[in-house]
Amino acid sequence: MKNKLSILFAAITLFAVVTQYYLMIESRVASILETTIRFFSFFTILTNSLVAIYFILSLVKKKNNYLSIIYKSGTLTAVTVYITIVGLVYQILLRHIWTPEGMQRLVDELLHSIIPILVIIFWYLYEEKISIKYKQLLKWLIYPILYLIFILIRGALAEFYPYPFVNVAALGLEQVLINSAGLLVLFICISAGCIKLGKILK
């Protein structure tokens, strides 16, 4: 059952990411290269891609090679935290700023609502929750911190910021850092909550 769900969830996630890329290319206002870079500047896209990669690699049978990290307790929880943040931030901060229609609406709901729910379900069913340690939380923060550094540097060079709450040109660096600190606190709270919940659920 686990493998079947992995295949299904990977297919759904890949469909959403690839279709979103196609839609973005179709409506691009910059070159294909620049649009592609912007596409992968969205935390939503990077994290959904990470979800797809996780599900695909979880199908590999060998557990003693460089892919063994996929099977370590905590890896699925980290992925779940990331995609949960994608869903929460979108519902709270971003949903109201646009009204997608047609295929874009379907993809939008998949990326920000459906896939986060699917990953949470998978986490509940298959993560080795009892083995997760709170100290792992610090490692999980590396990804969002590196992402923040990337988009701030990239934004300063290309004058493109993927989200309004990190738009230094509009808000100023101080406000963006305050917003980013708030999001990192949210990461920590969600991560700690998942670990605590995992120990309760076992």
Tell me the domain boundaries of the chain: 2-201
The confidence score (pLDDT) of residue 164 equals: 94
This prediction has a pTM of 0.92
CB distance 11 to 51 below 8 Å: no
Residues of the chain with pLDDT under 70: 61-68, 202
The confidence score (pLDDT) of residue 97 equals: 87
List of residues 6+ apart from 44 with CB closer than 8 A: 86, 90, 111, 112
The confidence score (pLDDT) of residue 29 equals: 85
The confidence score (pLDDT) of residue 144 equals: 95
Q: Could you tell me the CA-to-CA distances from 196 to 75, 126, 187 in Å, in that order?
A: 16, 16, 14
The single residue listed with the structure tokens 């929880």 is: 77
Closest CA to 114 of 48, 66, 193, 174: 48
CB distance 122 to 5 below 8 Å: yes
List of residues 6+ apart from 31 with CB closer than 8 A: none
The confidence score (pLDDT) of residue 199 equals: 80
For residues 48 and 2, give the distance between their C-alpha atoms in angstroms, rounded to a whole number: 19
Rg of the chain (C-alpha set): 17
